[in-house]
């Protein structure tokens, strides 16, 4: 075991900045719920965006933390690299120290150097730093200030210039930004270092010459129109890749050889019988799986369930990618990835209690997701094989890729990946077109179209007698034909009615409307512009007759009981968990009730029992 186990590396970082008067704060969630421009935290600075912009009050001017980040979409997207190389990840930890209008370049640079070389003891002659060279098109000066501060500590030939792409950091297309100085490390052996100087390999995608820390000097706000506006104050945002730092301190040449990942890899070996290091293809698969499970497990622990759209679909895509690697390369036809959650909980639970508190739940969700994709994966892979055999060009037709998506649940990036392994491509435009068409079809299928009302009486239609009565004598005041997709039904409005219209989470009443001529079955009751609308499958043949409107009392009684139970449950939750429990949604049905609520953690068995 190295002198620098991962837990000690993390703790040393935080203690170092605590000794420099920084307040240590916990990681913010990785899943972002209320920012339309961002689904996931993709940099340590996201949670502090408003502090940089001067929109939120600064409570502590100096802060340090380790932040869970996910880079799988938008400006910062590393997904394709993950597993194929040894130093990119979907989820990673970013160690950060922050100054909100407090210290600036001089201290940030001095402390970074002190921590890396004196505390962690990294060799100075393996380190390189970069500074922003300026950019004429944006009228940005070279960062000579940072260069001067670096010169105090670093030999000048190790200070390199960097362009806007590498040395001007931006969160996204808008938001706080500024020039940055990166610290790179050369982990190659002596012979290699003698042959090619490390300076030539900085920012050149070399797996052993990698960036470990980025110090951003926040000075500007990029506005939506693309212009730069100076911020009211200057700030420091630093981000150090925890997994890469661990590689450097543990003397490894791959992040996956550190104890951040070895416990996970050992577990995969235990579950598959395949040792890490056996072959290139099994190694890639194992790296993909241990990387992806972290992203998926932590996202679920943060409250993001896998789903068919939005952030939930990103999580589903990542997991399906992992499942396919396990299926094809590790021969796993049964769910197994969920089992890795226990390892995450053990290794990371001290720093991230949310994963420990919810380990069982997360395991279960992952297992169910795996099982559901495994039901169609084998068939889908067979189908794509046939498609590939039948291809006459090197590009798979968009409609075919759509079939894989629609029938077998293949996210397009999975199809793209399988094609890429054979040197083939996906017709992206064609696929997008098919997607669009499907969206329009499903919109058409659920879109309600209605004929004009047949009006028998001008007034009435809002009177609800159902609190006291379960049946009344009624007249039809208006009705019309309606359809949704292929289904046709009739909407009937009565002068007075005992039928409860759907609302407040309670389902609408069902029952019958009976006259001497006919009996109409009410399958649901809804409210529309104040009118109580009874939905029937048949048209009234004699609409002017007198009807006996009778609700299905068994259903109604059950619904009423479930409604009462909902209120009791809400009160019980407040008593057991606390006043903060807020209702997020509810459904009251004759057969069951559903109550959605917010709470900070998974409920314990004991709390559920209470
Ligand atoms: N915001 C910078 C980055 O993400 C430094 O924290 O690299």
Q: Is the pLDDT of residue 1 over 60?
A: no
The Cβ of residue 131 has, within 10 Å, a number of other Cβ atoms equal to 25
Tally of CB atoms within 10 A around 11: 14
Pocket of ligand 1 contains residue 322 by CB under 6 Å: no
Question: What is the reported pLDDT for 36?
Answer: 65
Confidence band, pLDDT 50/70/90 cuts, at residue 119:
very high
Q: Is the pLDDT of residue 2 over 80?
A: no
* 181 alpha carbon – ligand 1 mean position (Å): 10
Q: How far is the CA of 503 from the centre of ligand 1 (A)?
A: 47
Ligand 1 center–CA 173 separation, angstroms:
15
**From the CA of 96, how far away is ligand 1's center (Å)?**
8
Probe residue for ligand 1, chosen from 43, 210, 212 as the CB with the greatest number of ligand atoms within 8 Å = 43
Q: What is the DSSP letter of 602?
A: P
Q: Is the CB of 506 under 6 A from ligand 1?
A: no
Residue 496 near ligand 1, beta carbon < 6 Å = no
The reply to whether ligand 1 has any atom less than 6 angstroms from the CB of 96 is yes
Cβ(95) – ligand 1 distance below 6 Å? no
Q: Is residue 43 within 6 Å of ligand 1 at its C-beta? A: yes
DSSP, residue by residue, 143-204: -HHHHHHHHTTS-GGGEEEE-HHHHEEESSSSEEEEEEEEEEEE---HHHHHHS-GGGTTTT
User: Candidates 216, 219, 236: which one to mutate for ligand 1, based on the most atoms within 8 Å of Cβ?
Assistant: 216
What DSSP line would sit under 18-44, residue for residue? HTTTPEE-PPPPSB-SS-TT-SB--ST
The reply to whether ligand 1 has any atom less than 6 angstroms from the CB of 365 is no
Answer whether 239 contacts ligand 1 (Cβ < 6 A). Answer: yes
Mutate to test the pocket of ligand 1, among 239, 241, 244, 245 (most ligand atoms within 8 A of CB): 239
Which of 185-189, 425-429, 439-443 is predicted with the least confidence, judged by mean pLDDT?
439-443
Distance 94 CA to ligand 1 centre (A): 8
Write out pLDDT tens, residues 503-545.
Answer: 877 889 999 999 999 999 999 999 888 889 999 999 999 999 9
DSSP 600: S
**Ligand 1 pocket test: which of 71, 75, 169 has the largest number of ligand atoms within 8 Å of its C-beta?**
169
The pLDDT value given to residue 484 = 81
| CA gap 247, 51 in Å, rounded | 32
C-alpha 206 – ligand 1 centre gap (Å): 20
Query: What distance in Å separates the CA atoms of residue 28 and residue 15, rounded to the nearest whole number?
Result: 19
Distance 214 CA to ligand 1 centre (A): 6
More confident residue, 574 or 262: 262
CA of 92 to the centre of ligand 1 (A): 12
Measured between its terminal Cα atoms, the distance across the chain in Å is 45
Atom of ligand 1 nearest to the CA of 96: 6
23 token code pair: 């307040």
For a pocket test of ligand 1, which of 51, 214, 218 has the largest count of ligand atoms closer than 8 A to its C-beta?
Answer: 214
Residue 490 CB–ligand 1 contact under 6 Å: no
Contact 66, 95 (CB under 8 A): yes
pLDDT tens digits, residue range 37-84?
Answer: 678 999 999 999 889 988 889 999 999 999 999 998 766 777 888 988
pLDDT tens per residue, range 312-329: 899 999 999 999 999 999
**Cα(121) to centroid of ligand 1, in Å?**
23
Is the pLDDT reported for residue 217 higher than 80? yes
Pairing of strands 228-241, 91-100: antiparallel
43 CA distance to ligand 1 middle (Å): 6
Residue nearest to atom 4 of ligand 1 (CA): 43
Per-residue pLDDT at 568: 94
- Which pTM was predicted? 0.75
Q: From the CA of 97, how far away is ligand 1's center (Å)?
A: 10
User: Rounded mean pLDDT of the chain?
Assistant: 92
Q: Is 499 in the pocket of ligand 1 (CB under 6 A)?
A: no
Decide which of 121 and 599 is more confident: 121
Q: Which atom, in ligand 1's list, is nearest to the CA of 94? A: 6
Q: How much distance in Å is there from the Cα of 148 to the middle of ligand 1? A: 22
Distance 49 CA to ligand 1 centre (A): 12
C-beta 216 within 6 A of ligand 1: yes
* Bridge-based pairing state of the strands 546-551 and 62-70: unpaired
The verdict on the CB of residue 44 being under 6 Å from ligand 1 is yes
The response to whether residue 167 sits with its C-beta less than 6 Å from ligand 1 reads: no
Instruction: Tell me, using a 6 A CB cutoff, whether residue 45 lines ligand 1.
Output: yes
- pLDDT (mean) for 565-590: 84
Nearest CA residue ID for atom 2, ligand 1: 239
Condensed to tens digits (0 to 9), the pLDDT of residues 274-285 reads 999 999 999 999
Q: What separation in Å is there between the alpha carbon of 301 and the centre of ligand 1?
A: 24
> CA-to-CA distance for 269 and 274, rounded, in angstroms?
5
| Model pLDDT for residues 15-31, shown as the tens digit of each residue | 999 999 999 999 999 99
When comparing pLDDT for 53 and 129, which is higher?
Answer: 129
**Length of the chain as a residue count:** 610
pLDDT at 439: 82
pLDDT beyond 80 at 34: no
Greatest CA span in the chain, whole angstroms?
A: 101
Residue 557 CA to ligand 1 center (angstroms) comes to 58
Q: List pLDDT tens digits, range 467-496.
A: 999 999 999 999 999 988 788 999 999 999
Residue 544 pLDDT: 95
Instruction: Compute, in angstroms, the gap from residue 48 CA to the centroid of ligand 1.
Output: 12
- Residue 74: what pLDDT? 67
């Amino acid at each position: 075991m190295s002198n620098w186990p991962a837990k000690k590396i993390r703790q040393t970082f935080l203690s170092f900045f605590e000794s420099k008067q920084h307040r240590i704060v916990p990681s913010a969630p990785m899943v972002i719920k209320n920012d339309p421009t961002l689904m996931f935290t993709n940099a340590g600075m996201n949670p502090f965006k408003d502090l940089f912009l001067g929109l939120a009050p600064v409570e502590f001017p100096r802060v340090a933390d380790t932040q869970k980040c996910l880079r799988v979409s938008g400006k910062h997207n590393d997904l394709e690299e993950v597993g194929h190389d040894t130093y990119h990840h979907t989820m990673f930890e970013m160690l950060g120290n922050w100054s909100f209008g407090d210290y600036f370049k001089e201290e940030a640079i001095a402390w970074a150097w002190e921590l890396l070389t004196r505390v962690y003891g990294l060799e100075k002659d393996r380190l390189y730093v970069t500074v922003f060279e300026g950019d004429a098109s944006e009228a940005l000066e070279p960062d000579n200030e940072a260069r001067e501060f670096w010169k105090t500590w670093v030999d000048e030939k190790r200070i390199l210039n960097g362009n806007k792409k590498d040395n001007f950091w931006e969160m996204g297309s808008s938001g706080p930004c500024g020039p940055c100085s990166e610290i790179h490390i050369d982990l190659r052996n002596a012979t290699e270092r003698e042959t090619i100087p490390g300076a030539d390999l900085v920012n050149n995608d070399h797996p052993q010459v990698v960036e470990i820390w980025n110090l951003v000097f926040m000075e500007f706000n990029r506005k939506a129109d693309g212009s730069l506006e100076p911020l009211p104050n200057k700030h420091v945002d630093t981000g150090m890749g925890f997994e890469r730092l661990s590689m450097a301190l543990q003397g490894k040449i791959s992040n996956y050889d550190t104890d951040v990942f070895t416990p996970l890899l050992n577990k995969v070996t235990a579950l598959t019988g395949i040792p890490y290091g056996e072959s290139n293809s099994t190694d890639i698969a194992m790296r993909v799986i241990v990387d992806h499970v972290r992203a998926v497990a932590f996202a679920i622990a943060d409250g993001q369930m896998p789903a068919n759209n939005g952030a939930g679909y990103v999580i589903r895509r990542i997991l399906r990618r992992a499942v396919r690697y396990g299926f094809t390369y590790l021969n796993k036809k049964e769910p197994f990835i969920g089992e890795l959650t226990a390892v995450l909980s053990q290794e990371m639970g001290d720093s991230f209690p949310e994963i420990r508190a919810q380990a069982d739940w997360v395991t279960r969700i992952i297992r169910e997701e795996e099982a559901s994709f495994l039901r169609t994966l084998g068939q889908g892979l067979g189908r794509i094989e046939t498609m590939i055999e039948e291809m006459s060009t090197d590009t798979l037709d968009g409609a075919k890729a759509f079939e894989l998506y629609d029938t077998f649940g293949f996210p397009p990036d999975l199809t793209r990946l399988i094609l890429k392994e054979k040197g083939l491509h996906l017709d992206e435009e064609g696929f997008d077109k098919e997607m669009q068409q499907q969206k329009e079809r499903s919109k058409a299928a659920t879109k309600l179209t209605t004929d004009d009302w047949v009006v028998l009486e001008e007034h009435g239609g809002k009177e609800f007698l159902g609190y006291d009565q379960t049946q009344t004598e009624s007249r039809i005041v208006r009705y019309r034909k309606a359809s949704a997709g292929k289904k046709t039904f009739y909407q009937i409005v009565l002068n007075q009615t005992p039928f409860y219209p759907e609302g407040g989470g309670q389902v609408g009443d069902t029952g019958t409307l009976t006259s001497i001529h006919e009996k109409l079955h009410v399958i649901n009751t809804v409210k529309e512009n104040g009118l109580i609308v009874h939905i029937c499958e048949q048209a009234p043949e004699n609409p002017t007759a007198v009807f006996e409107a009778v609700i299905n009392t068994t259903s109604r009684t059950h619904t009423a009981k479930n409604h009462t139970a909902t209120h009791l449950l809400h009160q019980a939750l407040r008593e057991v968990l606390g006043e903060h429990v807020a209702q997020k949604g509810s459904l009251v049905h004759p057969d069951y009730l559903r109550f959605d609520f917010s709470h900070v953690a998974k409920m314990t068995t004991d709390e559920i029992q209470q």
